[in-house]
Amino acid sequence: MLKLLGARQLGGRDIRDVLAVLAADPVASCMVAARVEESGVDPRTIFGELWSRGGPLESLCFSGANLVPLRGSRSDMRAFAERAARGARLCSSLVGRAELTLPLWEMLELDWGPAREVRSDQPLLALAERPTDVDPEVRRVRADEIDVYLPAAVAMFVEEVGVDPRMHDGGRAYRRRVANLIAAGRAFARFEDGDVVFKAEVGSQSSRVGQIQGVWVAPHRRGHGLGSAGTGAVAQSIIDDGRIPSLYVNSFNTPARAAYARIGFEQVATFATVLLD
């Protein structure tokens, strides 16, 4: 009967069930689990809302800067789409398991218009054992190195997302985000002659999983194994902290997929990302 009422916003009384759903799929839910484990389900502290139709054990979706479907049937995705389309669009992308994200986008596209890009096949990878290829020169970035690190971070973002993260506010918000990652010890780099030639970050970190993002190698150093060994070093750090290293990659990125396979990453699911203007 409750399902007939559509999607509702979850509150504190739902947190036990929410945590159970996130724990049942730790790699795919890392982005949301990182927020909920630290801050609960209050929209003011997780910078978004958690929705359900019939209770979290049946369906669950996070709505914030990203719209992330976590569990549910096709009819549940329709309820989430109806709620998302009810007001102004708040998210810049949809991301999550492909079997949930793509149907959700199919329903939203009628209201929101065409996407800037749909990446429908992104293998979600996890590493069960210590990496086989580790660069000993990759280390955590220090706070006083942000001005050297930031240009590499911007270059990675432009290559990966297709837009400049500095375009709206001169880069203040992006610099703040990068500074926060550095302060948390979650930005890694290899420096050569004072320049960054490899970088990566642990973008989301739950109690069980560290999700690697922003892997980038300077163009003049590509093809020398820095991406593979550098990512291996970041993965090793995550394992040393007692977590599972994870990342997702575009299916068409053959060099990256080969590099991650050399480290020992294996596919555990398929993600999809819908980038919006």
Task: Verify that 180 and 90 share a domain, yes or no.
Answer: no
* pLDDT given at position 31: 97
**65 domain-assigned:** yes
Please state, in angstroms and rounded to a whole number, the distance separating the CA atoms of residues 86 and 79. Answer: 11
Residue 152 and residue 96 share a domain: no
Q: Phi and psi at residue 127, in whole multiples of 5°?
A: -115, 120
Q: Is residue 127 part of a domain?
A: no
Q: What total number of domains does the chain contain? A: 2
Give domain status of residue 124, yes or no.
no
Query: Are 265 and 144 found together in one domain?
Result: yes
Least Cα distance to 216 among 233, 199, 230, 203 occurs for: 199
- 251 in the same domain as 145: yes
Q: Identify whether 166 is part of a domain.
A: yes
DSSP 273: E
Residues of the chain with pLDDT under 70: 1-5
Residue 181 lies in a domain: yes
Domain-embedded: residue 126: no
Q: Per the domain annotation, does 22 fall within a domain?
A: yes
Tokens 């420096």, residue located: 191
**CATH at residue 249:** 3.40.630.30
Q: What is the pLDDT of residue 4?
A: 52
- Residue 92 shares a structural domain with residue 151: no
Tokens found for residue 179: 């500074």
Is there a single domain that holds both residue 6 and residue 100? yes
**Domain with 97 in it:** 2-113
Q: Are residues 29 and 75 in the same domain?
A: yes
CA 215 remoteness from chain centre? 12
Q: Assess contact for 232 and 265: CB atoms under 8 A.
A: no
The 10s digit of each residue's pLDDT in 180-226 is 999 999 999 999 999 999 999 999 999 999 999 999 999 999 999 99
pTM over the 0.95 mark = no
